[in-house]
Structure 1
Amino acid sequence: MRLRHLHLPSIHPHYVPYSLASRVQEHLRRQHLDFKDGSSTTTTLKPPPPTLLSFTPAPIYTLGRRQTTPLSAPETARLTAPLSIPSPKLGGQGGEDADADADAVVSLRPQIHHAPRGGLTTYHGPGQIVLWPVLDLHPPDHHYRHLSVKCYARLLETTTINTLASLFAIAAQTTEDPGVWVCRRRRRHSSSSSSSFREEGEEEGEGGEMAKIAALGVHLRRHVTALGTAVNVAMPGPEVLDEGWNPWARIVACGLAGRGVTSVVGELGGISSEVLDGMLLKQTQTQTLGPTVGSSNSSRERAVAGAWGEELARGLGLAGGLVETVDGEEVVRLMEGLALLPGENGEEEERVYVERIREAVCRR
């Protein structure tokens, strides 16, 4: 048995609607639940394979189960105010670099969504890769490890830590708080630029504050998983204070006051998108990613997700850590079948997204 990988592609500025990704996830989870009920319509008696769903979502703030009090009108207005999203070729950092190529910057309004996870408010959007494994923690055929909830959460964390180390040589770790963290080095920041720098001869210094580089959230239904991990690849860091550019500046991420948020690009000193893509190309040459749908940012997402999937497969105990990547045409047909019907709330966003991705498939 292999880990099946479905990647939902994006083409700047058309990122995956969170609602559509959630529907794809529920479709995959329903296959496992139907099999457990004995109501599967498949022609074989084999259980569905463990599956990884990966995507980069359109801007969205998700609220946890504990947030039962409705947001006030000013809070809602602040979260849904327009957000400047630079093209991935600019590195996702915003600020002066983006001003140099204003045509590659779009303004998108984040949505707000209640998620079935613990924790408080967090953000998902461009510059991030979301990784949602859908699998049965109590597999009936024992083709992979039987996991407790605690062990599964730890597996998500170690998978992310190992992937960051292998792809980018970033030393990440866990703390008493959920997610994956890095110890930020003390750096000086220019007052006129969003990028950090170290003066010639200046030591990096002792370890600085802890910052989250990947979020974690899990939801289970009869031992079948949903949600997972979101890795920050190229997003604004704490040095970007403008809420029009930095979505993290609008919230206390996950309710953890005093804890910052960082990304791969931020931890590598604000490298260019070309350098980032070169690192990924060098480290993922052995991956079988399948045909590419979309633009270069989709290839970047797929490379990170592919490496993460291989690490997860090994952690599950699947033979050789093998991953089967689902063809882009099959993924698009699945999204077309699950997209909202005309007249339903959110239908326009999903329709435009699916149309753009279908056009990319036809041009391939």
Structure 2
Amino acid sequence: MPTTVEWISLGHRHYDEALDIQMKRAEALLTGADERQAIYTVEHPPTITIGRNGTTDNIVADQSFLEAQGFAVRHVDRGGDVTYHGPGQLVVYPVLHLAPWDNDVKQYVRNLEESVIQALAEVGIVAQRHEEYPGVWVGDAKICAVGARVKKRPSGEFVTYHGIALNVNTNLAHFQTIVPCGIADKGVTSIERETGHAADFGAWETKLRQSFYEVFQFEV
């Protein structure tokens, strides 16, 4: 029987507020207080996050510029290095225990990537994984970042939080404030850039939700 997952749209939320929501749900799963599985979607104001493997050296804009432009900077406990979130970017935070998916963290990450690849293929964008780097790529340009965090609960199942960030109509100039994911010789792209026209943000959430359903084999 397919597992049941709540798909919850948070709309426009500050990074801290969305983080608090997902962390509370993750803690409930880790302690066994609440078994509900959830996937949150959100759009953040300009925010730079630094993962556990990251360094502030990969933020190339100075602090005064970031403050003037309204950027927040946060250290977070996901994997990976430095990344950017902002308007026009669809951020997806699955807060799941992985028992229904054989408790396989590597397969979980592949499923995240595959969900995006399949959704992009529907509009003719040919995307793929990169042998050396996580995420989803169009040529040498990243269109979707992946940065998950997993913890194990006493019963042995992994619980995951954080997730993916898909550039829909993102202002790609904002990525010039950082070395994205610490990779200096690669670029970034968006659905808007690849298709040549502005994308419907809400329609892309619907499209991505459908591809998640198909890849992960869950139901609402």
Deviations 1:158-205 (A, max 9, x none): 011111112x2211101021110002xxxxxxxxxxxxxxxxxxxxxx
**Separation in 1, partners of 2:193, 2:57:** 34
Task: After TM superposition, give the deviation of residue 33 of structure 1 in Å.
Answer: 1.7
Q: How does 1:1-364 map to 2 (within 5 A)?
A: 1-10=3-12, 16-35=13-32, 40=33, 47-48=35-36, 50-67=37-54, 75-82=62-69, 109-138=70-99, 144-166=100-122, 168-175=123-130, 176-183=132-139, 210-222=140-152, 223-237=158-172, 246-269=173-196, 271=197, 273=198, 276-277=199-200, 300-301=201-202, 303-318=203-218, 322-323=219-220
**Separation in 2, partners of 1:111, 1:54:** 19
**Separation in 1, partners of 2:181, 2:55:** 15
**Separation in 1, partners of 2:52, 2:66:** 18
Q: TM-score of the superposition, structure 2-length normalised?
A: 0.87
Task: After TM superposition, give the deviation of residue 252 of structure 1 in Å.
Answer: 1.3
Code of the residue aligned with 2:52 in structure 1: it is R
**Separation in 2, partners of 1:147, 1:163:** 24
Task: After TM superposition, give the deviation of residue 6 of structure 1 in Å.
Answer: 0.7
Deviations 1:258-290 (A, max 9, x none): 211110000112x1x4xx33xxxxxxxxxxxxx
**Separation in 1, partners of 2:214, 2:58:** 42
Quick check: 1:66–1:120 contact (8 Å CA) kept in 2? yes
Secondary structure at the aligned position of 1:155 is classed as helix
Quick check: 2:58–2:178 contact (8 Å CA) kept in 1? no
Q: Which runs of 5+ in 1 are unaligned?
A: 11-15, 83-108, 139-143, 184-209, 238-245, 278-299, 324-364
Quick check: 1:61–1:79 contact (8 Å CA) kept in 2? no
**Separation in 2, partners of 1:125, 1:236:** 8
Question: In the superposition, relative to structure 1, how do residues 146 and 248 fare at CA in structure 2: closer, same or farther (>3 Å)?
Answer: same
Code of the residue aligned with 2:6 in structure 1: it is R
Equivalent position of 1:186 in the other structure: none
Q: Which runs of 5+ in 2 are unaligned?
A: 153-157
**Separation in 1, partners of 2:161, 2:143:** 20
Secondary structure at the aligned position of 1:247 is classed as helix
Q: TM-score of the superposition, structure 1-length normalised?
A: 0.54
Secondary structure at the aligned position of 1:220 is classed as strand
Count the aligned residue pairs: 212
**Separation in 2, partners of 1:153, 1:310:** 17
Task: After TM superposition, give the deviation of residue 80 of structure 1 in Å.
Answer: 3.1
Question: In the superposition, relative to structure 1, how do residues 112 and 313 fare at CA in structure 2: closer, same or farther (>3 Å)?
Answer: same
Deviations 1:101-137 (A, max 9, x none): xxxxxxxx01000011222211100010000111101
Deviations 1:290-327 (A, max 9, x none): xxxxxxxxxx34x3223222322322233xxx33xxxx
**Separation in 2, partners of 1:71, 1:174:** 23
**Separation in 1, partners of 2:19, 2:211:** 23
- Between Structure 1 and Structure 2, the one with more strand by share is 2
Task: After TM superposition, give the deviation of residue 71 of structure 1 in Å.
Answer: 9.0
**Separation in 1, partners of 2:103, 2:125:** 27
Question: In the superposition, relative to structure 1, how do residues 52 and 69 fare at CA in structure 2: closer, same or farther (>3 Å)?
Answer: closer
**Which structure would you say has the larger Rg?**
1
